[in-house]
Structure formats: structure tokens, C-alpha cells
Structure 1
């Protein structure tokens, strides 16, 4: 049986959470296995394509060792469908009351999105202490999160959006950052070409960032 995870646990699995767009569900399992071989134990499959939910189903069935999440959850029905497909956590780019309630109804750990001090404080009032900071770079980057650590030291973040292997260490050095989200681990050209060795190599580099 899979370990029951909390939202804070998600921030400690790997220094980088791969944020993945799947266009063909046939790529899902070899992609997830390549990430695991490279030392990355978590994956966020974004609900941006018709292949996303089938991809989540296949990874959940065939690669149970990886902690599998659904990202770009923007509607209440996304939460329920992701849970039914086998996702073990949910990630939203932003947060509304309706979306927060739907995500909590699934019982899955959630990283709700916030981009401002007020949004972070509002989520903290709802009992949320582990958040996604999105879009990270356009919203102030590592400097913003460093400043936020003063008045809101109890909140921890997974910043995502515009982060690169070069900028990731700035975020990971902050005490209120547990991990970063990044799309660079699974470049589209490598996925389409089935170059799983390249993805494994990128994952291995990312796993060494902490």
C-alpha cells in the first residue's frame, strides 16, 4: 500500500518536481520510468491535453513507485477526475473557494497556487501551509519568496514558472522553499523522439540540485 502523504511531504521528495505535458499516453510510462531511474521520485502531469487523464491512469497502474500528481487543476471536476484516474496529489495554478473545496473533497494532498501576499495569507487562513508559487519568475522570483519568509515564516512553497537549472538553486537555498517545479526535465522534443536516456540524464542532474 502506498504511504499516505501530506502536502508538506510532497516538498521533500525531490528538489525538482517535473511539470509534464503529455500529448500521447503511450509516452507516459517510459517517461515516468526515466525520471525514476534518474532519481526523481515525483511527477506532475498537467491537465492540458486530452491524453493527460489516460496518462495518469497508466502511470498509476504501471509505475506505482513514483508519486503521481495532477497539475493545472482549474475546475472542480478536474479534482474528482484526477483522483479517480489515480493521482496521489493535486496542484492548482491559482485558488478559488470552489476549487479548494473540490480538491479537499478528494482527500488528496493539495498544493494550491498563490502569487501574492494576500493570496498566501488567505490560504493560510484556510489551514494551508504548503503552496505552489506561480508564476514564479514573473511574480517576483526568489526575492519575493525571501521577503515573504519574514511575515509568513510558517508557509512553505514549491515555486513553478520560468525556473531553469541555473535559477533553481537560488530558490532551493531559501528556508521556505521545499522544491521547485520545472518543465526542463522533459523537453517536448525528447519526449516525442522517445529519447528516455536524455530525460534520465536531465533527471539525474536535477536530483543533485539540493
Structure 2
């Protein structure tokens, strides 16, 4: 698993395969396809046809969403917040889940659910690397995936935090790049991210 998790918003499901291939060419083997558009579910199905790409579903809000994305082939689930019902449904299906947290209270709820890995969202607005460093002190067993406001320019700051094992962002998979079919640019930006260069 690479330490970069691209957050993908598809306007057309047929963009999934060439996008996944471009990410792989840049050294990124994991992608989160969100449910923010109607193309999300079919995009997950299409991306799963690619060898070597781990495909997850993002913007999962309800237990019903969990059922839908698992049926589409999602291998992991990402949520903007923390819902015990969504966590339990993911466990029922045997898929990994990465729920979103923002506060110590959220983290206590995550610990109570037996979770040891969470998405910090929106990381940039909450205080960025300094906030993660502060949170990790009273929660030493927790691993964080910052999302929201992570860019090529601050990537190294996040990855330098011991409690961060992966970062989530969309600068290498912007809707403009995807809409334009600029797969070479996606590959180049992905390679730079993997090499931790802005």
C-alpha cells in the first residue's frame, strides 16, 4: 500500500479504468472513488477490473451505502464522519473502514468501537500536522490518515508525523485532469507524490 490515497470524484464511470492505470503508472496502487456523483458506484465496478489496484469507496454515509459499495466491489470504505452503524455494517461484510474524526471526543468513540485507524477530516481547517501531533499524544495507538487540505506543498509535513501512515488528497486526480483525460499529468503528479516531492 502506498502512503498516498487519491480521493476521486468521477463524472463518468468510464473514466475509472484509465485513471486507475495512470495512478498505477505513477506508483500509486490504491484509490478512493467517492459517492459524490452518480458515476461513483459504476466507477468502483470498472476500476476493480484493473490488476494491482486496491479500490475503495468514499463519502459513505449510511449502512445502505455500505451494502451498495460492497456489492460494487469496494475493498475498503471511507467516511467523512464516525457512525457506529456504518462501522458495524462494514464489519458485517468483512471490509476495512476508515471513518472520519475531528475531535478528541470522536477519537474516544472510535476507540470504544475498537478502531485503531481513522481519517482526520478536514485536516487543514482543523490545524493540520500540529493538530494530529496534539491528538496522537493521548491516543498513542491511533493511526491517522489526514484528508482535506493536504497538498503537494504540505505532504512532507504530514508524512513526517509518526502517527500518520497514509495521506488522502486529490491534487493528482482533480476533476479537471480527469475531465480532460490528462492521464500523463496524473501519472507525473502521482510519481512526485510517491517520491514526496512538490
TM-score by length of 1: 0.91
Rounded to whole Å, the distance in 1 between the matches of 2:30 and 2:16 is 13
Deviations 1:43-85 (A, max 9, x none): 000110110000000111x213101100110111111111110
Of the three residues 166, 179, 186, the one matched with 2:173 is 186
SS in 1 for 2:92: helix
Matching residue of 1:25:
13
TM-score by length of 2: 0.96
Deviations 1:103-145 (A, max 9, x none): 2222101111111011011111211001111111111211011
Gapped runs of 5+ residues in structure 2?
A: none
Matching residue of 1:8:
none
Rounded to whole Å, the distance in 1 between the matches of 2:174 and 2:117 is 27
How many equivalent residue pairs? 197
RMSD value, Cα:
1.1
Gapped runs of 5+ residues in structure 1?
A: 1-12
Rounded to whole Å, the distance in 2 between the matches of 1:158 and 1:165 is 15
User: Which segments of structure 1 move beyond 4 Å, counting only runs of 4 or more?
Assistant: none
SS in 1 for 2:80: coil
SS in 2 for 1:186: coil
Matching residue of 1:79:
66
1:37 is the counterpart of 2:44: no
